[in-house]
Amino acid sequence: MTIAQTHSQNSETKEFIVPHSVMSDYDFNRFRHLIYESCGINLTSAKKTMLTARLKKRIRDLNLSSFGHYFTYVSNEKNRSEELVRMIDVVSTNKTDFFREPKHFNFMFNETLPHLIEAGIWKAGRKLNVWSAGCSTGEEPYTLAMILAEYVLNSPSLDFNILASDISTRVLDIATKGIYPESVTEPVPSAMKHRYLMRGKGSQKSFLRVVPEIRNKILFQRINLNDRSDFSIKTKMDIIFCRNVIIYFDRNTQIKLFERFYDQLLPGGFLFIGHSETLHGINDNFCPVAGSTYKKPR
């Protein structure tokens, strides 16, 4: 359906397009296949309503008339590289919190870090390398950075770097700024909040920003976990967090992903996945050491 409105300016006619409100099963299956091939996200038929709602605005922004026209647009060689990123931004789900699933952070502070030091992996002159894969709006990597900063307060010879990645450029933009409403920072312990977060002034007084010393420890980068070329990360990792991400992938994609994580992790390194996730039947090379926590054998 189209609604045409005319105006006299320059004697031109501007046409405003209203996309069809219902996506056909045919179009849904085409989009589902394209999204799966692009980033490994497996949309079930139950996600059709969600996909319809999320693509409508993009279709309106492009002044296209239907979901079919948008599929042609995003598939076009000329538009594909840029528009595919925009589409994935729209359809990807991003949910995170500071200190989410806190048992992992307690285990890392009390067990993982001392073990890496005792094993001679983390030592003076050799930075600890941590990857937060699927970092969303940044709460997880900032939590990791605060915990590591706390740990090295009494060991100033130790240092660390964090790679934080996501497929969505939209959430990475938020993460890079490191600015959050005060309500979002409630899970941060008061001592850490005082040390690592600074309050805004004036109209920004209800917002907190992560201090530069912590922000500078993190490199935010767009990485498609389903793209092997994106795993050409030169630095091998000591710790990888990939939590509540694989639930969006089918079994075949999960198997390939954890093969790549295994190769990216140094011997003796640790992998943390979501509490509701498991590597059972996906990768038996990792050794379980605690709930949803695994280790790569040395």
**How far apart (Å, rounded) are the C-alpha atoms in residues 205 and 14?**
43
Angle between helices 48-61 and 77-91 (to 10 degrees): 130
Q: What is the pLDDT of residue 163?
A: 97
Instruction: Say if residue 118 is in the same domain as residue 232.
Output: yes
Instruction: Say if residue 72 is in the same domain as residue 114.
Output: no
Indicate which CATH number applies to the domain containing 66: 1.10.155.10
The token duo for 80 is: 């594909």
- The pLDDT > 90 percentage for the chain reads 60
Answer whether residue 114 is part of any domain. Answer: yes
Answer whether residue 97 is part of any domain. Answer: no
100-133 pLDDT per residue, tens: 999 999 999 999 999 999 999 999 999 999 999 9
Overall residue count recorded for the chain in this entry:
298
Instruction: Look at the chain and report how many structural domains it folds into.
Output: 2
48-101 pLDDT per residue, tens: 998 998 899 889 888 998 999 999 999 888 887 788 888 888 877 667 899 999
Instruction: Say if residue 86 is in the same domain as residue 106.
Output: no
Instruction: Say if residue 151 is in the same domain as residue 276.
Output: yes
Q: What is the pLDDT of residue 80?
A: 79
Instruction: Say if residue 257 is in the same domain as residue 129.
Output: yes
Instruction: Say if residue 160 is in the same domain as residue 276.
Output: yes
Instruction: Say if residue 50 is in the same domain as residue 172.
Output: no
Domain end among 57, 91, 125: 91
Q: What is the pLDDT of residue 76?
A: 86
Instruction: Say if residue 157 is in the same domain as residue 68.
Output: no
Domain end among 91, 126, 154: 91
Full-model pTM: 0.82
Answer whether residue 46 is part of any domain. Answer: yes
Q: What is the pLDDT of residue 114?
A: 96
Q: What is the pLDDT of residue 20?
A: 56
Q: CB of 173 within 8 A of CB of 185?
A: no
Answer whether residue 226 is part of any domain. Answer: yes
Indicate which CATH number applies to the domain containing 215: 3.40.50.150
9-34 pLDDT per residue, tens: 443 444 444 455 678 999 999 999 99
Q: By residue range, what is the domain housing residue 79?
A: 2-91
Instruction: Give the Cα-Cα-Cα angle 104, 264, 211 (nearest 5 degrees).
Output: 55
Q: What is the pLDDT of residue 41?
A: 85
- The pLDDT > 70 percentage for the chain reads 92
Instruction: Say if residue 53 is in the same domain as residue 180.
Output: no
Answer whether residue 96 is part of any domain. Answer: no
* pLDDT of 242 above 50: yes
* pLDDT of 180 above 50: yes
Rounded to the nearest 10°, the torsion over CA 217, 150, 243, 41 is -20
90-105 pLDDT per residue, tens: 877 667 899 999 999 9
200-235 pLDDT per residue, tens: 888 888 999 999 999 999 999 999 898 887 777 889
Instruction: Say if residue 107 is in the same domain as residue 241.
Output: yes
| Residues taking part in catalysis | 54, 166
**Which residues does residue 17 pair with via DSSP β-bridges, in sequence order?**
2
Q: Which of 237, 236, 292, 239 has the alpha carbon at shortest distance from 270? A: 239
Model confidence at 270, in pLDDT bands (50, 70, 90)? very high
**How far apart (Å, rounded) are the C-alpha atoms in residues 18 and 14?**
13
Answer whether residue 29 is part of any domain. Answer: yes
Domain end among 32, 62, 91: 91
Instruction: Say if residue 109 is in the same domain as residue 177.
Output: yes
